[in-house]
Structure formats: C-alpha cells, structure tokens
Amino acid sequence: MEQLVNKYARKLVQTKLGSDSGPSQPLVGGLDDKLVWNRNADEIKLLEDVFKGLNINSLIFLRPVEPYGSLIGFLAENALKSNGLIQPEDCETRTFLHDLPVINKFDPDRIIRVLKKRKSVIIAPGNTNGSSQGPAILAHGTVSPEQGFVTISSVCFAGFIKFFTDYLKALREKTATAAAHDLFDKILPYVKPIQKTLPEFTPSPFPDEETVYLAIIEAGKKVIEYELVDSYFGNVSYFWNKTLYISQTGSSLDELSGCIDPVPVDGSTSAGLTASSELTAHLATVLRTGCKAILHGHPKFSVILSMDCDPGRKAFCHFKEQCHIKCPEKRFAGATPIIPGEVGTGPTGLCQTLPLALSRADSAIVYGHGLFTIGKENFFDAFCTMLEVENFSRDSYFKKVLYLKKN
C-alpha cells in the first residue's frame, strides 16, 4: 500500500494537477493492515475520521494547481449560492460523476455523508482546515488509490470544461459577470496550445503481434504525455491479421502492458468481454473505413467546442437535454465533423454515428465526449491529426471569445 499511495501522489504531479511541494502537494492515504500516508500533513487527523466512517481503503486530498484551483474555486463558490452542486454537462460527468457536490466546511461528518453517495466532494476555498489556499477535492477508493486518482482527474477535467463552456455561453447571451471576466483573464496564461515536437512512433507495417502490442502501448503513453486525455478516459486500437487489438475498459493509457485485448472480427473468442466499452464503434469503423489505427482522447478544447451552440438555434431545438445523442445539426470544427452518440450500442450508440463520420474524414468529435482520429496504416498519422484538431479547436474558441467581447 505504501508503494501505491506514493505512486498516485506522483501521478497527480505528473499530470499537472498537483505539485511536488507547497499547498498543492497531494495527500494520499491507504488502508491495508494499517493506514499509511504518502507524507505528513495537518489534515490527516480529520481525514482519519473520514476513513472510520466509510468502507474504503484509500483517500486522496488535493488542492489542485492553477488553472484548476481558481476554476474549481469559482465554480464551488457559485454552487454554494444555489443548490451546492456543480453540474457539468460533458460525457464523463454524465456517466461517471453525475454532479460535483460542494461543502463549505472541512468537516468529517459532512464529508462522509457526501462520499456515501458520490465519488468526490469539493471543499470551497478558505474552508480547508482554516486555510485560505484554495479549494480542495476529496475522493476515495474501495479497491485502490487509483480510483481516487481517476475521480480527481475527472473532477478537474469537468471543472475546466464547465467554466470555459459556461463563459462562452454567457458571452453569447451577454450575461457574463465581472468575476467571470476577471477569472478568464487570470487563467489565460495557463491555457497554452500544444506545441511539443512530434514524437516518433514505431513504423508500419508491423511484422508480428508483439510489435502490435508495443505500438499500442507506445501510442497510449503519447496520448497521456501530450495531455490529450485525462485519467484513463480514452482508448487505442489497431487492426492486424483479422483481429482488433484494443485497450481494455478502465485501463490507464500510460500503463497498457497486459491491458490489451485481441478481438477477432469473426467473434470466435470472448476476448471482447473486457475490451473498451467503445469496442463496437472501433470494429465498425475499421470495417467501414479500412483504417488500421484508431486513437480516442478527450482533448479539452475539442470537447468544449463540440458543446458550443448558438442560443438562437438552441431555443428552437426539439431535443434539449438529449442533444448529445440526437442533435441533427451538421456542425464542424474545421473539416472535423461534430457528431452525436453515446457509449455502447443501440440506435443512438457511437457504433451508429462514428463509422459513417470517419468514412468521410480522418477525425470526428463526439458531442461533449471527445475526439476520435484514424490512421490508414499507423498511429503517427492519427496522433498528428489529434494534435491538429485540438489546436484548431483551441484557436477557434478564443477567436469566438474575442469576437463576442468586441461585439
């Protein structure tokens, strides 16, 4: 357990959600035969009471670094003025978190009550153990600290999407507050385009199955390294020798060794039982397009841009709360179609909408969900497309903001 609490404390720093020193240093506790922590901290005494009130084996406490600290603090303070909930509308929140509860006091009993119903709780700024160092996020795990890491990562992602989506909407409706304007200006220096040198990938064609596995592992690590997905939400696949090799459901993309399923297209094995929940969409895409490589990530501005809808159009929309699965509008981010669809099968599943979109373009953004890109032979092409679409989406977002501010 000591190794695990240290591992996930490091991962929070590596993913730029926490810091290796100062107030944003992660605090991770794990219970095995005894309760261990990755470091000493004043908060431990109260957090030990939380352990006693829940059937859990791990707990993570984090004051996130910028821009997440200011974003989540702003959203938390607004939530406390209404129903005490932050309610993002991205796909991750709908399927994984539901909503983000906020409390105004670092109190074990209140934390316990919330964590019995939700995966996380946010403690509003200035209410964490008498500190004024920003908001704190608490998340627990019943099996491993990995669960808390995934939750906190998702909370930060959802908060980012929520603020930038709401800000653009408020500008369109001319309801943006002075506090929102100030926060936008404050965090702008932290929101930079992805400008890293393109990485090298294993060249295709792949001569054997072992190389296929290595190439998928490599691609997953690159998607994480370039911040094109948060926590483990995303997947990778490659079609080789009449078999789709795909990352398993719930697997971390930077740790795919041993977490890749070979799924024959003829259904001759049951390997697909543990494969990504988007297996059917991947299979249908490969068979329809003839591509071999598929990458799926959640680049932030691709998701934000997909959720941007003109208020005038929205007023006449017949689908309202179901626009993420039934939106009939033909929308694009440059040449990339923005499509509806939900995880899994059925009439509104991604297996219905994604393959058609990717037969016409080498990328597609699923409303509120994320970006899919394909490569005819290799992951390099799919990766380059993902970077290009995300940077385009970021630039498009800020052009819209600038235009609306001027008008």
- pLDDT higher for 368 or 322? 368
Beta strands per DSSP E along 228-319: 235-240, 243-247, 260-264, 293-297
What secondary structure does DSSP assign to 58-71, as a single string? EEEEE-PPTTHHHH
pLDDT digits (tens, 9 = 90+) for 5-29: 999 999 999 999 999 999 999 999 9
Q: What are the backbone angles phi and psi of residue 113, rounded to the nearest 5°?
A: -60, -40
pLDDT digits (tens, 9 = 90+) for 60-100: 999 999 999 999 999 999 999 999 999 998 877 777 888 99
User: In which band, very low, low, confident or very high, does the pLDDT at 133 lie, cut at 50, 70 and 90?
Assistant: confident
pLDDT at 51 over 90: yes
What fold is seen in the domain 209-406? L-fuculose-1-phosphate Aldolase (3.40.225)
Q: Please report where in the chains the tokens 């609306």 appear, as a residue.
A: 404
Cβ atoms of 293 and 375 closer than 8 Å: yes
Cα 108 vs. chain centroid, distance in angstroms? 28
Lowest mean pLDDT among 111-115, 227-231, 324-328: 324-328
Give me the percent of the chain exceeding a pLDDT of 70. Answer: 94
In the structure encoding, which two tokens stand for residue 395, read together? 């630039």
Round to whole Å and give the CA distance between 51 and 11. Answer: 22
Total-model pTM: 0.93
Instruction: Read off the amino acid at residue 136.
Output: A
Lowest mean pLDDT among 143-147, 231-235, 308-312, 383-387: 308-312
pLDDT at 232 over 90: no
pLDDT at 128 over 70: no
pLDDT value at position 270? 65
In sequence order, the β-bridge partners of residue 295 are 236, 373
Q: Are strands 235-240 and 243-247 parallel, antiparallel or unpaired?
A: antiparallel
pLDDT digits (tens, 9 = 90+) for 346-388: 788 898 999 999 999 999 999 999 999 999 999 999 999 999 9
User: In which band, very low, low, confident or very high, does the pLDDT at 310 lie, cut at 50, 70 and 90?
Assistant: low
Instruction: Please name the CATH architecture into which domain 2-190 falls.
Output: 3-Layer(aba) Sandwich (3.40)
User: Could you give the residue range(s) of every CATH 3.40.225.10 domain in the chain?
Assistant: 2-190, 209-406
pLDDT digits (tens, 9 = 90+) for 169-211: 999 999 999 999 999 999 999 998 887 789 999 999 999 999 9
pLDDT value at position 130? 47
Residue closest to 306 by CA, chosen among 363, 233, 376: 363
The mean per-residue pLDDT over the stretch 281-306 comes to 96
Cβ atoms of 129 and 49 closer than 8 Å: no
Round to whole Å and give the CA distance between 2 and 14. Answer: 18
DSSP state of 97: I
